[in-house]
Amino acid sequence: MAASNENLKDLIGQEYKDGFVTDIESESFPPGLNEDVIRAISAKKDEPEFLLEWRLEAYRHWLTMEHPEWAFVEFPKIDFQEISYYSAPKSMADGPKSLDEVDPELISTYNKLGIPLEEQMRLAGVAVDAVFDSVSVATTFKDKLYEAGVIFCSFSEAVKEHPELIKQYLGTVVSQYDNFYAALNAAVFSDGSFVYIPKGVRCPMELSTYFRINAANTGQFERTLIIADEGSHVSYLEGCTAPMRDENQLHAAVVELVILKDAEIKYSTVQNWYPGDENGVGGIYNFVTKRAECREENAKVSWTQVETGSAITWKYPSVVLKGDNSIGEFYSVALTNNYQQADTGTKMIHYGKNTSSTIISKGISAGHGQNTYRGLVKIGRKAENARNYTQCDSLLMGDQCGAHTFPYIETKNPSATIEHEASTSKISEDQLFYCMQRGISAEDAVSMIVNGFCKEVFKELPMEFAVEAQALLGISLEGSVG
């Protein structure tokens, strides 16, 4: 029925609630990229020589690389000389200070986003590293974590305080040559979070990093490195927002997870970068490389992502299952509305024996949104008895959007068990009418149906995030009722 599409169009018009700009004096590098810029970033951070060399190698390699064109996304060619590669609030010029000294303007920014950094207001049981443009402005509960032996700090700080760990693990999961954007990140990354959980330690609280892009015309290139040593356990969350601007901004991050024997990392993302307006103007290009390596036996990693923001999302949180009996999981909800595009999924690379992986992907397309699932399940020659289960569902709202699925399976071992299920459905006029006839408003009905569709993924999120994710989907689908 023609009327239903009109209704849906009204229903899914959305307001972006985190689009404000913080008025703060920043120090930004002029746009442009060359070896001097990289040296300058490294000097700003007072980095050891080995890291500068690592950056320069990455940059030189990047210069030889072609921009990848295989993703199912469309955007104008990026001029990498037009981007500023470093921006930091001036008040942060002397490096990270104690929380009491952080610019109140910054603290109020995070308060507005619902991430209180002040002592008395801190989220109980969650330690936060707040990254603003190119630098980490504060990390909460650091001391308490340190008592448990857990290192949780900004990447820059880790380089200074724990260079041996950085040297040992940096680039061992995603090398500085890995792909175009990973190489770019390796050359110019400015900050990010670092986590080390020592042997046998169960991290006493949730760790989280909150990324905020504020300055215009800058790129954010952060790098996260998490190491879970033998028998340890950690749950880590990341959230992201940015102001509303008419220009597109680039966010090219790299996340590396190292999981050793019997250890486990649970990594959750709620990504809500500015998605652009209803005509597709502005928004963040979210081009990210995320990879975990289950390096030893019985290691386990689980990626959960809720991707509602960004003009373009292009990322595949992956798992390399090296250790025998290791486990990889990927749970994803990706929503594209208006003119948003997402090409996301995962890679599960099985090398060890008895390794198993699970992929649950839920794509929601509304407006003119294009949503692509792309996944690779690879079973190596020695991966005896590897198992994978993939379920990949798409939900379409309206008739202008698209859902696409590209599953790749490569297996070199005949003992592998691989299952793949896929479905595509529409929010039907019948469902909406049924809910509304029972007294549930149209908006609540859409949100209920979408949340029902995403249920299997949401139940993987830590409690606080599950609530936030549900609310976020509600907002992303909010609008006037036709």
Least distance to other proteins, CB of residue 11, Å: 13
Q: Please answer whether residues 332 and 307 qualify as being in contact, where contact means their C-beta atoms are separated by less than 8 angstroms.
A: yes
Ordered DSSP codes for 71-87: SS---PPP-TTSSB--E
Angle formed at CA 175 by CA 170 and CA 176, multiple of 5 degrees = 95
**Pick from 1, 121, 467, 471: which binds other proteins (CB under 8 A)?**
1
* Cα angle 354-360-366, degrees, rounded to a multiple of 5: 160
Smaller CB separation from other proteins, 106 or 454? 454
Residues 6+ apart with CB under 8 A from 93: 27
User: Cα–Cα distance between 108 and 141 in angstroms, integer?
Assistant: 19
| Residue 438 binds other proteins, judged by CB under 8 A | yes
| CB-nearer residue toward other proteins: 52 or 436 | 436
User: Considering only residues 98, 279, 437, 480, which one is a binding residue for other proteins as defined by CB under 8 A?
Assistant: 437
Residue that has been written with the tokens 């599953």 in this structure: 407
60 CB neighbour count, 10 Å cutoff: 13
5: contact with other proteins by CB under 8 A: no
Number of C-beta neighbours around residue 281 at 10 A? 15
Cβ proximity to other proteins, 188 vs 427, nearer residue: 427
Q: What is the dihedral of CA 87, 93, 95, 98, to 10 degrees?
A: -110
Taking the least distance from each CB to other proteins, the nearer of 234 and 449 is 449
Q: Does 436 bind other proteins (CB under 8 A)?
A: yes
In the complex, least distance from residue 434 CB atom to other proteins, rounded to whole angstroms:
4
Q: Is 7 in the site for other proteins (CB under 8 A)?
A: yes
Using rule CB under 8 A, residue 433 touches other proteins: yes
CA distance 354 to 297: 10
| Footprint (CB under 8 A) of other proteins, residues 451-470 | 451-456
421 near other proteins, judged by CB under 8 A? no
113 binds other proteins (CB under 8 A): no
Nearer to other proteins, 172 or 428 (CB): 428
CB closer to other proteins, 408 vs 434:
434
Q: Please count the other Cβ atoms lying within 10 Å of the Cβ belonging to residue 351.
A: 20
Total number of residues that touch other proteins (CB under 8 A): 29
Contact positions vs other proteins (CB under 8 A): 1-4, 7, 428-431, 433-442, 444, 448-449, 451-456, 481
